């Protein structure tokens, strides 16, 4: 068995946006559970700190990206720059409305001077608008995880607001019916059951190469460790709210930590992402190597784990030792080589004329 890993393969598919979002949600969930268990005496404004950090990064990233967009107009001609920029502005608008909802929630938990229906109005508005955004994202091949989550849970948000304001006397098990349906569809639909069956078929098909088998198996494993813990959390939370289950909130939300950890790991293999956040305009791996040139020395170094006694053919050294050289420098070197070659060719093609001397009369 041989396993190889290098810096380039680790970060070439890294999605920093998903990494930041899932990390902030993990920390926020832990702090909220500790607050509900009265383990910490922080205010809700302090508990929501990971959420504020998330939104702050979104606003700063969009601001820097907009500055680069207007300051350097020639960057707009790079590929699908207009689509990336529009997607960034749409995401910024969604996050700002979501920030309004989070501010209202935090204020309601602290002062209790609002009704929950008023608090949920921004979230319900996002859910309605997200339907159109999902259609636009599918048309332009953009990611839409947050918008899809809001769009499919619009009925759940309405039920939560009505339940918290005591307009309905349903049990929490009934209130969570839209979420039950969604989780069941995820469990038996494309995410879990389908991915497991598909991975099993590929594992038993000899015509499929090893890379495809490994990818399908990892996807099935990731979907399972994402959906199943959320379903367990929902069951525990329902029993806690309805029957007063003798478990702390930290134990109730502990399955979510498994889902968050899985999503964080998956962010290292999630291709895509908007390249206009912070005006990067390139993949995160290339940006990282351009900001930290010292890492270029380690980009082509691979760490392998091989069994002893196995005959392993050493890999040939890479021809290009600087794959991340700037394009302008590469073009200049190429042009210099070409001009030098043409100069030698012209010198070789010059005719040879014998030297003649003319005698001048005295």
Site of tokens 């699908």? 80
Residues 306 and 345: their CA atoms lie apart, in Å, by 50
pLDDT at 312 over 60: no
Q: Predicted confidence band at 262 (pLDDT cuts at 50, 70, 90)?
A: very high
Q: What is the pLDDT of residue 58?
A: 92
The answer to whether 122 and 100 have CB atoms below 8 angstroms apart is yes
Q: What is the CA radius of gyration of the chain?
A: 29
Q: What is the pLDDT of residues 205-217, one digit of tens each?
A: 877 778 788 888 8
Using alpha carbons only, what angle is made at residue 355 by residues 349 and 360, rounded to the nearest 5 degrees?
Answer: 150
26 touches 257 (CB < 8 A): yes
Tell me the average pLDDT across 303-329: 46
Predicted confidence at residue 339, as pLDDT, reads 62
Q: What percentage of the chain has pLDDT greater than the value 90? A: 38
pLDDT in tens, 338-362: 566 556 555 555 554 454 444 545 4
* pLDDT value for 314: 46
b/e per residue 122-145 (b: at least 16 CB within 10 A): bbbebbebbeebbeebeeeebbbe
The domain segmentation of the chain, as residue ranges, is 11-288
Q: Which residue has the higher pLDDT, 293 or 35?
A: 35
- For residues 292 and 284, give the distance between their C-alpha atoms in angstroms, rounded to a whole number: 12
**pLDDT tens, residue by residue, 78-129:** 777 888 888 889 999 999 999 999 999 999 999 988 899 999 999 999 999 9
C-alpha distance from residue 168 to each of 122, 175, 323 (Å): 21, 9, 63
DSSP letters of 262-299?
Answer: HHHHHGGG-----TTGGG--S-HHHHHHHH-GGGGGTT
With a cut of 80, say whether residue 41 has pLDDT above it.
Answer: yes
Q: What one-character DSSP code corresponds to residue 324?
A: T
Question: Whole-model pTM?
Answer: 0.75
Of the two residues 246 and 313, the one the predictor is more confident about is 246
Q: Are 286 and 280 in contact (CB under 8 A)?
A: no
């Amino acid at each position: 068995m041989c396993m190889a890993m290098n810096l380039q393969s680790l970060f070439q598919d890294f999605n920093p946006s998903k990494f930041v979002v899932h990390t902030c949600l993990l920390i926020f969930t832990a702090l909220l559970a500790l607050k509900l268990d009265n383990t910490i005496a922080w205010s809700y404004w302090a508990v929501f700190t990971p959420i504020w950090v998330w939104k702050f990064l979104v606003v700063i990233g969009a601001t820097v990206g907009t500055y680069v967009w207007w300051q350097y107009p020639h960057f707009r001609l790079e590929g699908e720059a207009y689509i990336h920029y529009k997607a960034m502005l749409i995401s910024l608008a969604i996050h700002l409305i979501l920030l309004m909802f989070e501010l209202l929630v935090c204020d309601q938990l602290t002062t209790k001077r609002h009704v929950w229906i008023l608090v949920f109005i921004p979230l319900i508005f996002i859910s309605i608008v997200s339907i159109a955004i999902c259609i636009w994202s599918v048309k332009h091949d953009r990611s839409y995880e947050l918008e899809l989550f809001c769009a499919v849970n619009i009925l759940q948000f309405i039920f939560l607001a009505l339940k918290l304001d005591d307009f309905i006397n349903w049990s929490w098990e009934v209130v969570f019916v839209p979420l039950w349906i969604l989780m069941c569809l995820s469990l038996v639909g494309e995410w879990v059951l389908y991915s497991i069956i598909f991975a099993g078929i590929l594992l038993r098909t000899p015509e499929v190469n090893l890379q495809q088998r490994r990818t399908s198996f990892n996807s099935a494993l990731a979907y399972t460790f994402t959906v199943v813990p959320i379903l367990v959390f929902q069951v525990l939370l329902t029993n806690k709210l309805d029957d007063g289950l003798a478990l702390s909130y930290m134990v109730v939300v502990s399955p979510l930590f498994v889902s968050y950890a899985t999503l964080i790991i998956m962010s290292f293999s999630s291709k895509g992402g908007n390249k206009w956040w912070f005006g990067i305009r390139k993949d995160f791996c290339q940006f990282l190597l351009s900001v930290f040139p010292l890492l270029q020395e380690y980009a082509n170094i691979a760490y392998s784990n091989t069994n002893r006694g196995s005959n392993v053919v050493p890999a040939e050294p890479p021809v290009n030792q600087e794959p991340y050289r700037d394009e302008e420098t590469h073009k200049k070197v190429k042009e210099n080589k070409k001009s030098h070659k043409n100069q030698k060719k012209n010198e070789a093609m010059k005719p040879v004329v014998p030297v003649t001397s003319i005698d001048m009369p005295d």
